[in-house]
Structure 1
């Protein structure tokens, strides 16, 4: 681990700097100047840069973990066995000599997965075993397991062929004659049963969660990750923000975007792939060399063979967006963008028109990330010192790693132009990450319907970053791997803002707390409807009061408050004097309440959306049952994304 004494008490503080120097620092306008100043301070070099020991493979440790996994498996503890086999695979040296050990651990893991009814991951492991030096005399085991996985998945045609292959493999098995004959007899029975059906087929498999959905209504011509139903507007007060280009119903997919970059939390690195964030319990997971790393002993994390990975692990290429050559080649372009946004264009809207209008907004393009909002004019000196100090620390980590292709010696404080470019970019992105990074999560499910959203890591989504906040968000997001899917959970009229949520939500937090949090963390005053009208928290909503829209047809926007126990079906509006039929709203409300009471949140998402659509037309939030139905929609959507199992739950 890198040790960093500067940050042991928080961050580099004003008290450490001479008042005259502090005044110079406070007048800087460029990130490169701030970085150069802090890098030159003696305080910035009073910490040790020691990479520490590299995680290494160990065959003996791997064998011990495999043996422990075998004991857990034999005792029926399949979840513990799976975890131990995973650790064994990670510790097994990636050498031709160790290929057999690795193959046995992976084969054993497939057995644990089979008993956990994770059939596709088990099949993935069996396919991986076939590429390794797995003992031929044991091949019948994995082939039999393959056949039974296929059978459980109703892949009957393929299961028949796998049983036939198992029967053939039994000829080479080192088994006592009696046991061999029993096994052969069982397989022959399965073959005979399947062969009776002359039109044996494979059932359609459910769509893989690694396949990303399409945006609704076609792709946006100007924002490649957004739906054509989305427009992006700009104002001095609100910056850039997304609005509905047309009327949009709940359930509409408005953004599907791959992360520009993502980082897995350290506590999940032994259980999830750090490239795609797939769980090792639901994917066939191996070590990095399978994904392109050439030095067998050097990898320190988990990689999984997954459809979400594009295999782009080579950071040596000059064109890779983490290679210094990439940024050096971009220097002129970055300087031009900086001049446009800082000098030639005095207002926000002019800056962004100059920078963005000539091209399609591509979330995969570095300039889209480069120009994300930073709120640099709102930062205090303490804040600048903290972030610049961290930029220096990260820069020195890059030096130690050999990123600059030079001697990793850290003596002296000389910075060349390449150093200044990278240091300035580090500081710039430390500012923008505060406002634009998103938590990537996984929904973990329990045995009794309970669920918990677990923070796996963070990602940057330049298109999603254009969505402003509301304490009553009209969209929800879920993740497939590191890609985000954004869907509406309310009806939006043309021109209405499409807002997500930055954390504070009106159903849980009082207005004063929400606004204080948003002001401190995001530097803006929230003026959404729940803040303007001071909506009650969910627990404070009156379940006996219904709020209907006046639908007299005269363009009246009056809200009609009616007691839930009313025996009337027509209510007169006090403003326009017209009448509203509330019967349809009450009937829909009864359906929504019944579904909530029965816990049928896993029922077809389309039914919840239909209910929500009717509630949108008849009832006005805040209203308890409306938000219950909306939460049911969110829960269903989350179950379409990354899934895991709660600790202690059986699979």
Structure 2
């Protein structure tokens, strides 16, 4: 009886046992410094046996195998739901059936055919055609073939591809004639309907031909072309703009400098990752190879673990790396975190023979630095900077992945060559070589791994009314060129993605000769200085010396600060029990008890207002919220987060009451505070402008004033819409839905103006 997956040890437990409590726990681990020393030490029989025992445990609970009976059961369940016309649920179940059906089996072809019926019913004609063609390629029963030819023809009719539809209808007619187990009456009835469909399609084809060329292309959902860096691609710095130069100095190491003036929004890098791995939590929604969301998933034909957006991605994935990760391997690999990407880098780098040759060139300094893999290999590892536990843990993980390749795949036998390494042709040499490459890349990725992200909009809350636009990590990748940028807690670039391509744009104007900085995560507008420094020191092994880390005051304190009566500046409270505070602007000292008492009264009024608003008592809620606001302006700093929250709630009340003019006034009052905390080009500002323009459009729709007043308000609304559009384009690119939504609002305003004129 197989073990429960929850009973199998996680890789971290194995690491702790081997490094702390195992019989071979060794005090000399501290002295292991180089990749060769570490891998050689942990290839000892004791460690090998313990690691192989764990890998075997993972395989005993693996559920990657295809199962004909499960596929059939799921398909039959899908058939019942199809009768109920719950097509969304039905589509998911048929996909699961396809995932479990063995390749070249009748179950696979039947499940594909059934899913094509759902796709046809939901007007996804292209997807239905793909499934139909796949069903035929996997031995769909001959006596049912006429149904699929007929369905494919109907899809082509809907796509206005009448010539192809006629061909499919004729195939349906011919395959119907070959069916034996059908009454002549039923066969004649179906045949008649097919002949009618052929005639109708011929009429459509003739009609379209008379009125011009038939357009058979499908332009819906097409992606824009990949953007190009400003001034074109740099010949000496792959994937970078000609406006950039890669420099090196003792103080800054390798870094990126502007060689010409750069403006906000200029594209500086358009880089395809050398390698990437989709995170397991996204396997059911995204293509395992290109990371895109799929509508009609294509499964791996060997395992039930991964899905693809197309047959093309499936084939490319298999040829490049999945053939070494399939057959249950991912159940092991998912335990090792970012080390999975280290494995993927090695698998994409070349054969063992090629890696042997490259190793020699790297040691001699003869490797071509412009080759993509060499650029990856030359990224820093910080191996010597790590503590002994981390070095040992990463080395054991590299040995684990090497042993997986050695014992559970044909990687070593497939890549066997006669090349001599260090004068000896032995299996141990190849194992040591691959182990060292794996360790090298694992250590690199701790510092140089980059998230491929998708955008998800969070809900606003009472404490922070600004829409929280957060990035969902989809995959982890390595971008060697963009990795050359140094860190600043106030970077002058911004990252977005076009598929798996990293798009780097200027977030600020950058003058010729200035350094181009990325932010490695800790940003001064979103994280306290102490936390930023600790994070950077722990993960990246440097002490940040950017301007915001050297400033004496803490930037984020002002957004929870009291109000200075002398200059209206912020009075930050260093800790909750502080009784005396000092203004950051004028230096005045205050006893804070009176201000705190007022802020507490305001808080109670705000809570009451929220309760009334949630219960639908909007006028009573407004009374309490406005009382709260009146107190806020006397005791809290102008950009205090609670002042923004109160203003936002007042605006919501007015909007729900249909008073868009007052709603607009209060949303507008939040803009300076959002700009101060997040910046004029921040995504938070874009969302607040979007919210503001929604209210302004509502105001325009009920506007009954004179034409001059309408035109003035319209121009103001359009100005804010265009600003929001600029910011969304900067952060996401024109292909993003948020940009398209703002563009629709812009179009609506243009139509409104035409009607008014």
Shorter-normalised TM-score: what interval?
0.5 to 0.7
Alignment of 1:282-361 (within 5 A): 282-283=295-296, 285-288=298-301, 297=302, 301-303=306-308, 304-306=310-312, 310=316, 313=319, 321-337=349-365, 359=368, 361=370
Q: 2:444 aligns with which of 416, 424, 432?
A: 432
CA separation of 1:369/1:186 partners in 2, compared to 1, >3 Å: closer, same or farther?
same
Q: 2:531 aligns with which of 513, 520, 524?
A: 513
Contact (CA 8 Å) 2:492, 2:508: kept in 1 or not?
A: yes
Aligned to 1:201: 214
Cα displacement (A) at 1:333: 1.6
Q: Distance in 1 between matches of 2:187 and 2:557?
A: 67
Map Cα deviations across residues 517-568 of structure 1 (whole Å, 9 max, x no partner): 22222222333444445674599399x99xxxxxxxxxxxxxxxxx99xxxx
Aligned to 1:278: 292
Q: Distance in 2 between matches of 1:428 and 1:215?
A: 31
Q: Distance in 2 between matches of 1:277 and 1:334?
A: 32
Q: Which has more radius of gyration?
A: 2
Cα displacement (A) at 1:90: 1.9
Aligned to 1:554: none
How many matched pairs?
Answer: 531
Q: Distance in 2 between matches of 1:485 and 1:32?
A: 37
Contact (CA 8 Å) 2:298, 2:314: kept in 1 or not?
A: no
CA separation of 1:265/1:520 partners in 2, compared to 1, >3 Å: closer, same or farther?
same
Q: 1:241 aligns with which of 251, 255, 265?
A: 255
Alignment of 1:238-277 (within 5 A): 238-277=252-291
Flag the structure with higher helix content: 2
Q: Pick 1 or 2: higher relative contact order, CA cutoff 8 A, min separation 6.
A: 1
Aligned to 1:598: 693
Cα displacement (A) at 1:39: 3.4
Q: Distance in 1 between matches of 2:305 and 2:686?
A: 52
1:422 equivalent to 2:420? Answer no
Is the partner of 1:46 in helix, strand or coil? helix
Cα displacement (A) at 1:33: 0.9
CA separation of 1:124/1:286 partners in 2, compared to 1, >3 Å: closer, same or farther?
same
Q: Distance in 1 between matches of 2:81 and 2:468?
A: 27
CA separation of 1:309/1:248 partners in 2, compared to 1, >3 Å: closer, same or farther?
farther
Contact (CA 8 Å) 1:470, 1:528: kept in 2 or not?
A: yes
Cα displacement (A) at 1:313: 0.6
Is the partner of 1:405 in helix, strand or coil? helix
Cα displacement (A) at 1:373: 1.1
Map Cα deviations across residues 299-323 of structure 1 (whole Å, 9 max, x no partner): 8533432469756716799996353
Contact (CA 8 Å) 1:260, 1:459: kept in 2 or not?
A: yes
Cα displacement (A) at 1:435: 0.7
1:459 equivalent to 2:461? Answer no
Q: Distance in 1 between matches of 2:72 and 2:158?
A: 27
Contact (CA 8 Å) 1:437, 1:460: kept in 2 or not?
A: yes
Aligned to 1:73: 82
Q: 2:41 aligns with which of 34, 37, 40?
A: 37
Aligned to 2:166: 164
Is the partner of 2:472 in helix, strand or coil? strand
Cα displacement (A) at 1:626: 8.8
Contact (CA 8 Å) 2:275, 2:348: kept in 1 or not?
A: no
Map Cα deviations across residues 147-187 of structure 1 (whole Å, 9 max, x no partner): 2552xxxxx4x2x3244346545646576766776787678
Contact (CA 8 Å) 1:6, 1:44: kept in 2 or not?
A: no
1:57 equivalent to 2:57? Answer no
Cα displacement (A) at 1:436: 1.0
TM-score, scaled to structure 2: 0.59
Contact (CA 8 Å) 2:126, 2:155: kept in 1 or not?
A: no
Cα displacement (A) at 1:426: 2.1
TM-score, scaled to structure 1: 0.68
Between 64-73 and 473-482, the greater mean CA deviation after superposition: 473-482
1:7 equivalent to 2:12? Answer yes
Cα RMSD of the aligned pairs, angstroms, is: 4.8
Cα displacement (A) at 1:85: 1.9
Map Cα deviations across residues 473-514 of structure 1 (whole Å, 9 max, x no partner): 433334444443333344332233333332223333223222
Q: Distance in 2 between matches of 1:627 and 1:514?
A: 29
Between 198-207 and 12-21, the greater mean CA deviation after superposition: 12-21
Alignment of 1:88-103 (within 5 A): 88-95=97-104, 98=105, 100-103=106-109
Q: Distance in 2 between matches of 1:180 and 1:482?
A: 48
Contact (CA 8 Å) 1:230, 1:254: kept in 2 or not?
A: yes
Q: Distance in 2 between matches of 1:33 and 1:109?
A: 54
1:498 equivalent to 2:525? Answer no
Q: 1:540 aligns with which of 559, 573, 585?
A: 559
Q: Distance in 2 between matches of 1:594 and 1:627?
A: 6
1:84 equivalent to 2:93? Answer yes
Cα displacement (A) at 1:630: 3.7
Q: Distance in 2 between matches of 1:93 and 1:520?
A: 47
Q: Give the unaligned 5+ runs of structure 2.
A: 177-181, 325-345, 415-425, 461-466, 568-637, 640-679, 696-721, 741-757
CA separation of 1:417/1:286 partners in 2, compared to 1, >3 Å: closer, same or farther?
closer
Cα displacement (A) at 1:369: 1.6
Cα displacement (A) at 1:129: 4.2
Aligned to 1:108: 114
Q: Distance in 2 between matches of 1:124 and 1:246?
A: 49
Q: Distance in 2 between matches of 1:163 and 1:19?
A: 70
Map Cα deviations across residues 305-362 of structure 1 (whole Å, 9 max, x no partner): 246975671679999635323322323123324xxxxxxxxxxxxxxxxx78xx5533
Is the partner of 1:404 in helix, strand or coil? helix
Between 168-177 and 392-401, the greater mean CA deviation after superposition: 168-177
1:231 equivalent to 2:328? Answer no
1:405 equivalent to 2:407? Answer no
Q: Give the unaligned 5+ runs of structure 1.
A: 151-155, 289-296, 338-354, 407-413, 546-562, 565-584, 601-624, 644-651
Aligned to 2:542: 524
Aligned to 1:487: 505
Q: 1:477 aligns with which of 478, 486, 495?
A: 495
Is the partner of 1:240 in helix, strand or coil? strand
